[in-house]
Structure 1
Amino acid sequence: MGCRLLGTLFGVDGELLERQYRNHLSGYLCWEQLPHAEEWLLFEKNIGVYVGLDEVCLSRGELYTVLINKERKGRSGSLIAVVKGTDVKTVTSVLLRLSRRRRFQVREITMDMAPNMEQIARLCFPAARRVTDRFHVQKLAYEAVQDMRVKARWEALDEESVQIAHAKACGKIYHAPVFENGDSRKQLLSRSIYLLYKKESLWTESQRVRAGILFREYPDIK
Structure 2
Amino acid sequence: MHNQYTDFLLRLPDVKTKQVLEINESTLHIEVTPIAVRQACPCCQLTEHVIRKGQNRVRRIRHLGVGGQRIYLLVPAIRLFCKSCDCGFVWNYSFVDPGKRYTKAFEQQALQTARVATVKQSAELHFLPNSTLHHKHEQWLAIESKRLQKQGWKEAASMSKLVLGIDDFAIRKGQTYNTGIHNLRGETLLDIFPGRRLDELRIYAKQSPAFLALRPVAVVMDLAPYYHTWIRECFPEAIRVADRFHVQRYVVEAVQSIRKSITPTLAPQAKAHLKAKHRLLNPRVESLSVEKQEELRDILGYSALLKQAHAWKESFSRWYDCSPNVHTAKQWLHHWLVQGKQIQHPAIMLCLKTIKNWKTEILNYHRCRGTNAAVEGRNNRIKAFQRRHYFTRNRERYVQGLLVECNYAHYG
Amino acid at match of 1:195: L
Alignment of 1:55-204 (within 5 A): 55-58=168-171, 62-73=176-187, 78-96=188-206, 97-99=208-210, 102-103=213-214, 105-154=215-264, 156=265, 176=267, 183-184=269-270, 186-201=271-286, 202-203=288-289, 204=292
Distance 1:112 1:90, change over 3 A: same
Match of 1:8 in 2: 124
How far apart in 2 are the matches of 1:193 and 1:150? 10
Is the 1:81–1:95 Cα contact (8 Å) retained in structure 2?
no
The structure with the largest alpha-carbon Rg is 2
Which residue does 1:45 correspond to in 2? 154
**3-state SS of the aligned residue for 1:71?**
coil
Question: Structure 1 unaligned runs (5+)?
Answer: 33-42, 158-175
Deviation of 1:111 after TM superposition, in Å, equals 0.3
Percent same amino acid among aligned pairs? 21
Alpha-carbon displacement from aligned partner over 1:201-220 (angstroms, at most 9, x marks no partner): 30525414414514546444
Partner of 1:207: 295
- Looking at secondary structure, tell me which structure has more strand per residue: 2
Provide the C-alpha distance between the structure 1 equivalents of 2:251 and 2:238, rounded to a whole number of angstroms. Answer: 26
Q: CA deviation at 1:135?
A: 0.4
3-state SS of 2:220 partner: strand
Task: Identify unmatched segments of 5+ residues in structure 2.
Answer: 1-112, 147-151, 311-412
Task: Answer yes or no: is 1:221 the counterpart of 2:309.
Answer: yes
Q: Post-superposition shift, 1:58?
A: 3.5
* CA shift in 2, pair 1:44/1:93, >3 Å: farther
Structure 1 142/11 Cα, relative in aligned 2: closer, same or farther at 3 Å?
Answer: same
In the alignment, the residues of structure 1 paired with residue 212 and residue 195 of structure 2 have an alpha-carbon distance, to the nearest angstrom, of 26
Normalised to the residue count of structure 1, the TM-score between the two structures is 0.68
Q: RMSD value over aligned CA atoms? A: 3.0
| Alpha-carbon spacing, 1:84–1:207, altered in 2? closer, same or farther (3 Å) | same
Spell out, residue by residue over 1:24-76, the C-alpha distance to the aligned partner (whole angstroms, 9 max, x if none).
x33749x99xxxxxxxxxx7435351000111113575211111100122xxx
> CA separation of 1:99/1:209 partners in 2, compared to 1, >3 Å: closer, same or farther?
closer
CA distance in structure 2 between the partners assigned to 1:85 and 1:113 by the alignment: 17
TM-score under structure 2 length normalisation: 0.39
Does the CA contact (< 8 Å) of 1:7 and 1:14 recur in 2? yes
Q: Deviations over 1:2-30 (max 9, x none)?
A: 143442233221233212442xx33749x
Structure 1 residues 207 and 215: alpha-carbon distance in aligned structure 2, compared to 1, 3 A threshold: same
One-letter identity of the residue aligned with 1:16 = T
Residues 1:214 and 1:199: Cα distance change in structure 2 (over 3 Å): farther
Contact in 2 for aligned 1:192/1:210 (Cα 8 Å): no
Q: Kindly provide the amino acid, as one letter, of the partner of residue 124 in structure 1.
A: C
CA contact (8 A) 1:111 1:133 kept: yes
**Partners of 1:98 and 1:125 in 2: how far apart?**
13
Looking at structure 2, the residues matched to 58 and 100 of structure 1 have their Cα atoms a distance apart, in angstroms, of 23
Residue 101 of structure 1: how far off its partner (Å):
6.7
Change (3 A) 1:127 1:106: same
The answer to whether the 8 Å contact 2:195/2:201 transfers is: yes
Secondary structure of 1:138's partner?
helix
Alignment check: 8 A CA contact 2:300 2:307 kept:
no
User: Counterpart of 1:107 in 2: which secondary structure?
Assistant: strand
- CA gap of 1:10–1:141, structure 2 versus 1, over 3 A, is same
- How far did 1:188 drift? 4.7
How far apart, CA to CA, are the structure 2 residues paired with 1:119 and 1:213? Answer: 44
Partner of 1:163: none
